[in-house]
Amino acid sequence: MSTGSEEHLARVCLDADSCFFVFFSFFFNPFSTVNLLDSKASQGELGWISYPAHGWEEISGVDEHYTPIHTFQVCNIMEYNQNNWLRTSWIPRKSAQKIYVELKFTLRDCNSIPLVLGTCKETFNLHYLETDEDQGALFREHQFSKIDTIAADESFTQMDLGDRILKLNTEVREVGPITRKGFYLAFQDLGACVALVSVRVYFKKCPLMVRNLAIFPDTVPMDSQSLVEVQGSCVNNSKEEDPPKMYCSTEGEWLVPIGKCLCNTGYEERGYSCQACRPGFYKSSSGSMKCSKCPPNSHTYQEGSVRCTCDNNYFRSEGDPASMACTRPPSAPRNVISVINETSVILDWSWPSDTGGRKDVTFSVVCKRCGLGRPPCEPCRGSVRFLPRPTGLSNTTVTVTDLLAHTNYTFEIEALNGVSALAPSHRQFAAVTITTNQAAPSPVTVIRKDKTSRNSVSLSWLEPERPNGIILDYEVKYYEKQEQETSYTILRSKGTNVTLSGLKPDTSYLLQIRARTAAGYGTSSRKFEFETSPDSFSISSENSQVMLIAVCSAVGIIFLTVVVYILVSRFCGQSKSKHPGEKRLNFGNGHLRLPGVRTYVDPHTYEDPSQAVHEFARELDASGIAIDKVVGAGEFGEVCSGRLKLPSKKEICVAIKTLKVGYTEEQRRDFLSEASIMGQFDHPNIIRLEGVVTRSKPVMIVTEYMENGSLDSFLRKHDAQFTVIQLVGMLRGIASGMKYLSDMGYVHRDLAARNILVNSNLVCKVSDFGLSRVLEDDPEAAYTTRGGKIPIRWTAPEAIAYRKFTSASDVWSYGIVLWEVMSYGERPYWEMSNQDVIKAVDEGYRLPPPMDCPAALYQLMLDSWQKERNNRPKFTDIVSFLDKLIRNPGSLKVIANTASRPSNLLLERSGTSDVTTFRSMGGWLDSVRTLPCRDAFGGVGYSSCDTLPKTSAEEFKKVGVTIAGPQKIVSSIRTLEAHAKNGPVPV
Ligand code: AMP
């Protein structure tokens, strides 16, 4: 056997029982040959035959190594017509298709032979004959086919034959394809002097080989030009990564290796086989890597380990990689300290001295109540709160609140890591025992007005959520609203109700309640407002004339109220009879809906947000909802119009907000948080929630349908088409909704015309509630330097600067909405950049009055935009101011001067002839001394207007007021003057 490259013998095992040796080539040109005949190697008789017998003759000799060899020679050059044949024995073909014949011979040069008589030749012929069996001595010359004429070539080596030197030629010829089972070769001499030194017959094959841990078997190439594709099989303890494949060429060479096998887990590649990892080593994945030493705190005593076993008291968690050291639970936290504040305690501790070799250490705190000397302690009940939480703490501190006053508690603080759960018996904790202090009760939050009369009122309330002890009594403090707490009355009540008597009829009172325990008074409740009933109608004889005037005034008031009511109802749809859909629904899981003090509950305070949704929103059956068309796009999905049919109710039009498919759990929570908020409100100017669909998909929020869509686009569509009274009616609705929200303690943060919806009766309703999304969702919201998104143009400076969002900042936004409404949807600050807006507002600039804007409304805008937020009016003031404007439409005829707009489109605060010079409406009126009657701007109780009729239009202009017409202003002032004395009269 010979190859064209360096070969090595290798032991290859296909499985445990069948190992063999193969030649492995380090170079990628491995091929081998298989001899079918080698005359040199044959020890015995060759059995070749000569025709005629005196032609070729066999001469036995020895080669240079004294090995016996067979040679045949013929040299009948002295005779004519030579035709001497030498035929080999029958050669079985085996699997060969193409065979090679290698001849080594010497040939005498005719010129070197003196006195040649015959025809001296310097060639001989090579023939072959295919047969399926050995034909014995039978020889028929004509059956043979000629392969080639063989001549001495130039590349020969010299052969020393004693006294003569002959040239040894080597010639190779290809024969094939051979299809029969065997063949003969024959050498024909036609008169040459030739000696056949050796004949080798062979074929080529691709030898068995291991490559990329795959075994490729012996392969005989095809006779044609094409390659033979051979699939390799993986060696023992390995598996296919990609199917291994090679091609066997016609030259018996392996070509193009593709794919490979990889040693199994627990085995590594050594030589051309996969060998098991030694004890103390492991291999956890199949691959070409070597076995690794066991990581710290682990071992293996077996061969072929996939992973190492942890030493005693060490563990490996499910997610730990095999290469990671085994670890153990941490030791207990150290240096626990507790700081008690009434019924709260701050627990603080140090990291454990031993983290067990892991980084994923967290802490958990278990609260146990150990009061009244009754060991063992019992677990704390549900009301105790942990901030941020009781388990999974990454910091070494926790605050525990809402504990019982004057009670013993034990807190067990445990450090945990990824293997703590695997080693319950190895876990250690640190414990601290505390006794809470006396604590005052929490505030009363729910107050109910039970009965009202002219001069008494009966109230009841619920006990505070956390009494922190036995409530000794309640302190009830009340005073007339307009007295502003300068004088007040205090009562004490043992129970949770009280009747206040001796009150003035038809008077507004404010009341606060606080509970008292042995630890003292708790915080007072929010202010609760109530009004006593009006005086009954009676006329005393001596005051009959005065009373007559009063009665007339009252009739006037009622008449005016009716007129205004009809107007407002017509334009803004306040009338319930016209708008049956306005009837409030009262639903929810027993959620207390009381008149008076009710506070907004942030759904974030619920541990489970879906609980909040079902607390405040009713679950609707999706089969009762029909979707008609898409009317808008919300952050979470489409907004559609449709119809809702509830059992035994009339079908109503609704808006349906859907949650798009593929939402995350967080998006679902944020989406539904709007319903949790909206569901807490019940007011004609707040968009009403009909319910939610959470138990089937798509998740939906269903609200009342607002036919005219959002206010900003509605106004832009109907530019200059409404009367001032209509606009004020809408504004009144928005203010009333906002008053309700601020009374509930809800800060909207994104009040803007785009977030107000308008129904077919022009009723405006505040919408767009939510938590984080409120601002994130708004396309107007821009990032501030402090982070967080804020709709700059609508937001008060303190909210932009340091996120101080309050009802006062909502009032600022309301001022902007007021401006948007009066300018029919103009964009506040036009195209100024957000940065310029922030700068201009900070420097005291304010938006100028919109075209034809009543001065009173512009003054309200300026008041809402007071830099000092406490100087801004409250929503309750705004509602009553607008009510008064509606009742006195004449007051709206004085138009704010727009002629003096500075070129930068904003009004300068420092101007002297402008309404913005004055801090408030009253201030401006004061400044023009006896000029226009202050009552003209709202009938807010200013002094009489004696000198007003004498005022010229020029003088009005001086102070930035345009008068609709001298006659009109005089008559409206007269009207207002009369109103100031007698109450409102119709105009
Ligand atoms: P929102 O996601 O609340 O900002 O709603 C997106 C848009 O859907 C709004 O701008 C309105 O045009 C429309 N839309 C929302 N709610 C209602 C509703 N109750 N009635 C009519 N249209 C609505």
Query: Does residue 473 have an active-site annotation?
Result: no
Q: Is 710 in the pocket of ligand 1 (CB under 6 A)?
A: yes
247 within ligand 1 shell (Cβ under 6 A): no
151-165, 396-410, 418-432: least confidently modelled range: 151-165
The single residue listed with the structure tokens 């929810």 is 588
Alpha helices by DSSP H, listed for 874-945, are 875-887, 921-927
| Residue 27 pLDDT greater than 60, yes or no | no
Mutate-to-test residue for ligand 1 from 582, 625, 628, 631, highest number of ligand atoms within 8 A of CB: 631
Ligand 1 geometric centre to CA of 443 (Å): 38
Q: Measure the CA angle with vertex 835, ends 829 and 837; round to 5°.
A: 25
| Average pLDDT of the residues in 370-377 | 66
960, pLDDT greater than 50? no
Share of residues in the chain with pLDDT > 90 (%): 48
Q: What is the pLDDT of residue 418?
A: 94
For 721-774, the pLDDT digits (tens) are 999 999 999 999 999 999 999 999 999 999 999 999 999 999 999 999 865 444
**Is residue 674 lining ligand 1, measured as CB closer than 6 Å?**
no
pLDDT computed for residue 553 by the predictor: 54
Q: How many Å apart are CA 327 and CA 419, to the nearest integer? A: 7
In short, whether 652's Cβ falls inside 6 Å of ligand 1 is: no
Answer yes or no: is the C-beta of 207 below 6 A from any ligand 1 atom: no
Query: Considering the chain, what is the average pLDDT of its residues?
Result: 79
- Predicted local confidence at residue 240, as pLDDT: 93
CA 31 centroid distance within chain: 59
Distance CA 453, CA 504 (A): 10
Number of residues that this document lists for the chain: 987
> Which ligand 1 atom is nearest residue 768's CA?
3
pLDDT on residue 31? 59
Sign of CA dihedral 911, 912, 913, 917: positive
403-407 mean pLDDT: 81
Q: Looking at ligand 1, which atom is closest to the CA of residue 633? A: 6
Task: Supply the pLDDT for residue 119.
Answer: 76
Separation between Cα atoms, residue 645 and residue 648, nearest integer Å: 8
Nearest protein Cα to ligand 1, atom 3: 768
pLDDT band per the 50, 70, 90 thresholds, residue 777 = low
Nearest residue by C-alpha to atom 21 in ligand 1: 706
The stretch 159-171 carries a mean pLDDT of 65
Distance (Å, rounded) from C-alpha 341 to C-alpha 102?
107
Separation CA 694–CA 622 (nearest Å): 9
Structural contact between residues 441 and 464, judged by C-beta atoms closer than 8 angstroms: yes
Express each pLDDT in 485-539 by its tens digit: 778 888 889 889 999 988 989 899 999 999 988 777 888 898 899 999 886 533 3
Question: What's 60's DSSP letter?
Answer: E
Find the 660 Cα to ligand 1 centroid distance in Å: 15
709 lines ligand 1 (CB under 6 A): yes
State the pLDDT confidence band at 985, using cuts at 50, 70 and 90: very low
Q: What are the two backbone dihedrals, phi and then psi, of residue 604, each rounded to the nearest 5 degrees?
A: -65, -20
| pLDDT on residue 772 | 45
Range with top average pLDDT, 68-82, 109-123, 294-308: 294-308
Q: Which residues pair with 149 in a beta bridge?
A: 125
Residue 810 CB: number of other CB atoms within 10 A?
27
The per-residue pLDDT for 731 is 97
pLDDT value at 957 more than 80: no
> Rounded to whole angstroms, how far apart are CA atoms 872 and 818?
14
Q: Is the CB of 685 under 6 A from ligand 1?
A: no
Residues whose CB falls within 8 Å of the CB of residue 656, separated by 6 or more in sequence, listed in order: 625, 627, 639, 640, 641, 642, 700, 701, 702
Q: Which amino acid is at 966?
A: P
Nearest atom in ligand 1 to the alpha carbon of residue 674 is 3
| Residues making up the binding site for ATP | 631-639, 657
Give the pLDDT confidence of 44-96 residue by residue, as tens digits.
778 899 999 889 998 877 777 777 788 899 988 888 889 999 999 999 998 88
When pLDDT is averaged across residues 151-165 and rounded to a whole number, the result is: 54
Q: Is the CB of residue 642 below 6 angstroms from any atom belonging to ligand 1?
A: no
> Ligand 1, closest atom to CA 707?
21
Say which DSSP state 106 is in.
E
Contacts of residue 814, Cβ cutoff 8 Å, sequence gap at least 6: 734, 735, 738, 751, 864, 875, 878
Helices (H) and strands (E) in the chain, counts: 14, 54
Q: Is the peptide bond before 376 cis (omega within 30 degrees of 0)?
A: yes
**pTM of the entire structure?**
0.41
The answer to whether residue 908 scores a pLDDT higher than 60 is no
Ligand 1 atom 22: the closest Cα is on which residue?
A: 709
Q: Which of 307-316, 540-549, 661-670 has the lowest mean pLDDT?
A: 540-549
Instruction: State yes or no: pLDDT of 590 exceeds 60.
Output: no
The CB density around residue 929, as the number of other CB atoms within 10 Å, is 7
CA of 540 to the centre of ligand 1 (A): 58
The residue among 776, 768, 736 whose CA lies nearest residue 876 is 736
Closest by CA position to 985, among listed 915, 891, 903 = 891
**pLDDT tens figures, 319-371:** 999 999 999 999 999 999 888 887 889 999 999 999 999 999 999 999 998 76
Higher pLDDT, 616 or 22: 616
Quick one: CA torsion of 576, 581, 582, 586, rounded to 10 degrees?
130
- Tell me what pLDDT residue 116 has: 65
Q: What is the pLDDT averaged over residues 401-419?
A: 89
Torsion sign, CA atoms 628, 629, 630, 632: negative
Distance CA 767, CA 759 (A): 12
Q: Cα separation of 288 and 842, whole Å?
A: 69
If you measure from the C-alpha of residue 710 to the centroid of ligand 1, how many angstroms do you get, rounded to a whole number? 7
Q: Cα separation of 36 and 33, whole Å?
A: 10
Mind giving me the DSSP string for 221-244? PPSSSPPEEEE-EEPTTEEEEEEE
Q: Which residues have C-beta within 8 Å of that of residue 100, sequence separation ≥ 6?
A: 33, 172, 173, 174, 175, 201, 202, 203, 204
Residue 822 gets the label, from left (phi > 0), alpha (psi -120 to 50) or beta, of alpha
- Residue nearest atom 13 in ligand 1 by C-alpha distance: 632
